[in-house]
């Protein structure tokens, strides 16, 4: 695969980073977030703060403190950033050169994305432009989507779907797992016949479950996300061959190369891009363009981020190729109180505005940051 030509964006020069801090915050969720792999009661997020020339750029790492979604954790990310990635940044180098050097570090996409995000936000602030404009796209209204975690009863699930429908979310995703699948989907579909509905299994099934998963074809789901292992692509292709419902990959895709493999094998017809999982915004944009050229739908996933990470996902969705509603829901769906001042809200048609202003268009509230901070470390 030839390397793409460097865009002007990749030629911005890196400043001397005067001050670098890692800050960890821990916020309680409004409702525990249940998946087939883990139930999270809190969002623990590692933040990176870069300061240079009077501009302060924040970014948020998508890793959890545990390795249950993917292998990176907040601790591995701190280690890789401190000991390997940050030392590769030389003042005067271009962002393209830095990202090229990052390829020397294998894997650790979430760590790479955290550093890249912060550098791009710093450039946007310094130039006085919004992040989406720095990336090359005009502002537009972003489609909304909600990811509803596993519930104890079908009644609770139906209540959660009902309030999402009332808010005009463009599509609803429900988590499934073995034992909470076909009948639970049937209950939702019977009550909401026209809803854009999809499911996410976070890898709970194997190919032996293909006949069982075929029962989901009856419910006009827009897609089934990551039914099989987090490390598989090939068996998803075998499964896709046996299903009418499009498959969507999440955990299995970490790089542009993974995406070309998945598309070549017809392992999925839709791609969930989490910018943190694929190593950052520039890789996300390359993937979205490639997918679009191959007729594959793309949407932005989420990791239950605080307002910092959610703003990044919103800016990214102005890019070409993001044709489907993503996992971008209102702040109040996650937290009663966030660390940023501007909450994400839906308008009466279910759309989300890109926060206006330079950089991410959001401001970190120093008092709330202190309130939820559990750790901080000055790196430079
Ligand atoms: O599989 O998409 C997932 C959250 C944490 C880990 C994995 C996943 C999710 C979500 C939440 O589904 C998406 C969001 O609302 O941010
Ligand atoms: Mg998923």
Each residue's pLDDT tens digit, 276-318: 999 999 999 999 999 999 999 999 999 999 999 999 999 999 9
Give the ligand at the shortest distance from the Cα of 223.
2
> Catalytic: 167?
no
> Catalytic: 274?
yes
pLDDT (tens digit per residue) in 328-363: 999 999 999 999 999 999 999 999 999 999 999 999
Please tell me the predicted confidence (pLDDT) of residue 243: 98
Q: Are strands 145-148 and 297-300 parallel, antiparallel or unpaired?
A: unpaired
- Nearest to 125, CA basis, from 68, 56, 74, 221: 56
Higher-pLDDT residue of 311 and 1 is: 311
Q: Which residues line ligand 1 (CB under 6 A)?
A: 69, 147, 200, 202, 250, 301-304, 327, 329
How many percent of the chain have pLDDT more than 70?
98
Please tell me the predicted confidence (pLDDT) of residue 96: 87
Structure tokens at 190: 């019977």
What residues pair up with 234 in beta bridges, in sequence order? none
Mean pLDDT computed over every residue of the chain: 96
Q: How far is the centre of ligand 1, averaged over its atoms, from the C-alpha of 19 (Å)? A: 32
Q: How far is the centre of ligand 1, averaged over its atoms, from the C-alpha of 274 (Å)? A: 9
CATH number of 9-129+366-378: 3.40.50.620, 3.40.50.150, 3.30.390.10, 3.30.565.10? 3.30.390.10
Rounded Cα distance, 207 and 230, in Å: 13
Q: Is the pLDDT of residue 115 over 60?
A: yes
Where residue 226 falls (left for φ over 0; alpha for ψ -120 to 50; beta otherwise) is left
Where residue 288 falls (left for φ over 0; alpha for ψ -120 to 50; beta otherwise) is alpha
Instruction: For 215-249, give one letter per residue: b (16+ CB within 10 A) or e.
Output: ebeebebbbbbbbbbeebbebbbebbeebebbbbb
Residue closest via CA to ligand 1's atom 6 equals 303
The residue whose two tokens read 């797992």 is: 177
pLDDT (tens digit per residue) in 148-206: 999 999 999 999 999 999 999 999 999 999 999 999 999 999 999 999 999 999 999 99
What is the reported pTM? 0.96
- Three-state SS across 181-192? CHHHHHHHHHHC
| Confidence label for 9 from pLDDT (cuts 50, 70 and 90) | confident
Rounded Cα distance, 14 and 261, in Å: 33
State the closest ligand 1 atom to the C-alpha of 334, by its place in the atom list counted from 1: 15
DSSP-assigned letters across all residues of 197-209: EEEE-TT---GGG
Least confident of 6-10, 15-19, 105-109, 116-120: 6-10
Q: Where are the alpha helices (DSSP H) in 325-365?
A: none
Write the CB contacts of 118 (distance below 8 Å, at least 6 apart in sequence): 48, 49, 50, 57, 58, 59
Give the ligand at the shortest distance from the Cα of 173.
1
Structure tokens at 203: 């890898």
| 35: DSSP letter | -
Query: In the chain, which segments carry CATH 3.20.20.120?
Result: 135-352
pLDDT (tens digit per residue) in 67-80: 999 999 999 999 99
The residue whose two tokens read 């300061």 is: 51
Residue 199 near residue 174 (C-beta atoms within 8 A): yes
Please tell me the predicted confidence (pLDDT) of residue 7: 53
Rounded Cα distance, 152 and 147, in Å: 16
> 135-352: CATH homologous superfamily?
Enolase-like C-terminal domain (3.20.20.120)
**Given ligand 1 and candidates 30, 32, 35, which is best to mutate, with the most ligand atoms within 8 Å of its CB?**
35
CB-based neighbours (< 5 A) of ligand 2, an ion: 200, 225, 250
Give the 3-state secondary structure of residue 214.
helix
Query: In the chain, which segments carry CATH 3.30.390.10?
Result: 9-129+366-378
Give the 3-state secondary structure of residue 56.
strand
Burial class (CB in 10 A: 0-12, 13-18, 19+), 267: buried
Please tell me the predicted confidence (pLDDT) of residue 3: 42
The one catalytic residue in 175, 178, 180, 215 is 175
């Amino acid at each position: 695969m030839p390397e793409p030509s460097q865009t002007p964006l990749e030629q911005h020069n890196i400043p001397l980073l005067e001050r670098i801090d890692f800050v960890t915050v821990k916020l309680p969720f409004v409702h525990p977030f249940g998946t087939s792999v883990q139930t999270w009661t809190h969002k623990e997020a590692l933040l990176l703060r870069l300061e240079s020339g009077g501009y302060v750029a924040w970014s948020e790492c998508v890793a959890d403190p545990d390795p249950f979604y993917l292998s990176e954790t907040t601790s591995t990310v701190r280690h890789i950033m401190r000991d390997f990635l940050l030392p590769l940044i030389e003042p005067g180098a271009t962002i393209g050169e830095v990202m090229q050097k990052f390829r020397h570090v294998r894997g650790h996409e979430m760590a790479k994305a955290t550093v890249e995000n912060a550098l791009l936000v710093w450039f946007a602030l310094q130039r006085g432009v919004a992040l989406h404009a720095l990336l090359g796209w005009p502002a537009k209204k972003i489609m909304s989507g909600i990811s509803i975690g596993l519930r104890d009863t079908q009644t609770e699930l139906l209540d959660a779907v009902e309030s999402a429908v009332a808010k005009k979310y463009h599509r609803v995703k429900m988590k499934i797992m073995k034992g909470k699948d076909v009948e639970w989907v049937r209950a939702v579909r019977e009550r909401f016949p026209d809803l854009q509905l999809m499911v996410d299994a976070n890898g709970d099934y194997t190919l032996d479950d293909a006949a069982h998963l075929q029962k989901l074809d009856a419910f006009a789901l827009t897609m089934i996300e990551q039914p099989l292992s987090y490390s598989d692509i090939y068996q998803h292709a075998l499964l896709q061959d046996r299903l009418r419902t499009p498959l969507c990959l999440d955990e299995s895709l970490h790089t542009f190369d993974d995406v070309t493999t998945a598309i070549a094998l017809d392992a999925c017809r839709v791609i969930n891009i989490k910018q943190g999982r694929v190593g950052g915004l520039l890789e996300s944009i390359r993937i979205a363009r490639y997918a679009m050229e191959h007729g594959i739908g793309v949407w932005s996933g989420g990791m239950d981020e605080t307002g910092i990470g959610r703003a990044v996902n919103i800016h990214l969705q102005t890019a070409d190729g993001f044709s489907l509603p993503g996992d971008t829901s209102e702040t109040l769906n996650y937290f009663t109180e966030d660390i940023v001042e501007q909450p994400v809200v839906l308008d009466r048609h279910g759309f989300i505005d890109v926060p206006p202003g330079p950089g991410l268009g959001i401001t970190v509230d120093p008092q709330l940051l202190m309130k939820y901070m559990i750790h901080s470390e000055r790196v430079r």
